[in-house]
Amino acid sequence: MRPARGPAPDAPRRAQVTLRDVARAAGTTPMTVSNVVNGREGQVGAELRARVLAACEALGYRPNAGARLLRTNRHMAVGVVMVDPSPHYLSDPFTAALLAGMTDVFRSRGYAILLEGADAAALDSAAVMRRVATDGLCLVLSGPEAERRALLARVAALGQPLVLVQEDLPEDATDACAVLQDDRGGAAMIARHLFAEPTRQAVMLVPALAWPAMERRAQGVRDVLASLPVPPAFHLVAADGEGFEATQAALAAHVGRHGLPDAVIGGNDRMAIAALKWLVARGLSVPHDVRVTGFNAFDIWRYATPELTTVRSPAFELGEEAARAMIARIETGAFPVRRMLLPVDFMPHRSSVRGAAPAAQASPPGPGGATAAGPQPGEYRGCRRSTGEPA
């Protein structure tokens, strides 16, 4: 009879790989390894950096997050909160490009992203609001202005550094930075382009959910209208959403009440293309009967027939600059600027041009070189003609 077997002895545990182990394998110092794994740019040459990363991979080295927190008082993580009621918010081209830019910069510097998408009413239950495991927060807000201000106050009460994306900071905001694109200037370029020809009625299609960028675009159109001796009738038409059916339903209802406009300004390219297809389906010619423009110039504009006049949004660069600003605050204790405005580019195409297409334009410079409706001059790294106000 076989004796009963006792519990199997524990398998020997593999010793944890340390910085010294990696340094020995790479033929360098632990400090150099630390610089590489913590993403400190400019301190290690490309060849040595590659050697250190290869040694990390070969040895299976992973930084000890708990030890690093004790040593540096940093979580090496940043929260990104998108206040958007749609469960499909990641399918939005602007959001996708913005997050891609952020992720590229944060990853290159050794930071992780904790992403939360939440309705305004559910924001307090978001993980980044309930437990502080981040070094700072990047925030994208939607909703009426008063609601956005209240949400911002709740997030600011957490006491973490804050980068507000596509929204201006209130004057009393501290330890914060705003990163925006020149939506107002871009919309003004569209309006000047459209209203250079005789126009009786113009329509701007926007989603019913308030977004700061859409508000600035509408204001850019109004700026130009206010400068005209005899401005056309202008209607801001709110659709139930930015989708195809909702946009077409809103345009159809407006035309039923007010007649056909001479120009349709899409709050973004998706809404503009939905309007264009609605017009063409009714036998109307774009641009000869109605001129149509969009905004953002993500790849979708190329699929419109005729090609869509639009404004190029630097959404990817916006994400990069937001991440750089946050990293600068975490690592130096201060934001490099309080407000950063990125320029946009006007891209005229056949959907609004009845003759030869004019040349593309960038946001026009204001006094001292700042973009139109922008801050005082001050250069910040990483994007063509970015401007910023000192923090």
- Does 83 lie in the same domain as 56? no
- Does 194 lie in the same domain as 174? no
In a domain, 263, yes or no: yes
Handedness of CA 142, 187, 97, 103 (dihedral sign): negative
- Does 96 lie in the same domain as 170? yes
DSSP annotation string for 227-276: HSSSPPEEEEEEESSSSHHHHHHHHHHHHHHH---SEEEESSHHHHHHHH
In a domain, 348, yes or no: no
In a domain, 283, yes or no: yes
Residue 379 is predicted with a pLDDT of 29
Average pLDDT for runs of 10 along the chain of length 391: 52 66 86 73 78 81 53 72 86 94 94 85 71 86 92 88 95 93 98 96 97 97 97 97 96 97 97 98 96 94 93 97 96 95 96 69 47 34 42 56
CATH of the domain at 50: 1.10.260.40
In a domain, 295, yes or no: yes
Residue 368 is predicted with a pLDDT of 35
In a domain, 277, yes or no: yes
Q: Give dist(CA 211, CA 370) in Å, integer.
A: 24
- In this structure, the strands spanning 345-347 and 310-312 are antiparallel
- Does 90 lie in the same domain as 26? no
pLDDT digits (tens, 9 = 90+) for 67-79: 444 444 456 899 9
In a domain, 353, yes or no: no
pTM of the model: 0.75
- Does 382 lie in the same domain as 337? yes
Residue 175 is predicted with a pLDDT of 94
Domain's final residue, options 312, 330, 351: 312
| Total number of domains constituting the chain | 3
CATH of the domain at 87: 3.40.50.2300
Q: Report the side by side order of strands in the sheet with 137-140.
A: 112-118, 77-83, 137-140, 162-165, 176-181, 337-342, 387-390
- Does 256 lie in the same domain as 322? no
pLDDT digits (tens, 9 = 90+) for 288-339: 999 999 999 998 888 899 999 999 999 999 999 999 999 999 999 999 999 9
In a domain, 354, yes or no: no
- Does 323 lie in the same domain as 284? no
- Does 301 lie in the same domain as 191? yes
**Two structure tokens written together for 380:** 């910040």
Q: In terms of residue numbers, what domain contains 368?
A: 77-181+316-342+364-390
In a domain, 13, yes or no: no
Residue 386 is predicted with a pLDDT of 39
Residue 62 is predicted with a pLDDT of 66
- Does 49 lie in the same domain as 147? no
Residue whose token pair is 């300004």: 265
- Does 326 lie in the same domain as 304? no
- Does 295 lie in the same domain as 321? no
348 with 371: CB under 8 angstroms?
Answer: no
- Does 203 lie in the same domain as 139? no
Residue whose token pair is 């958007």: 84
Residue 14 is predicted with a pLDDT of 54
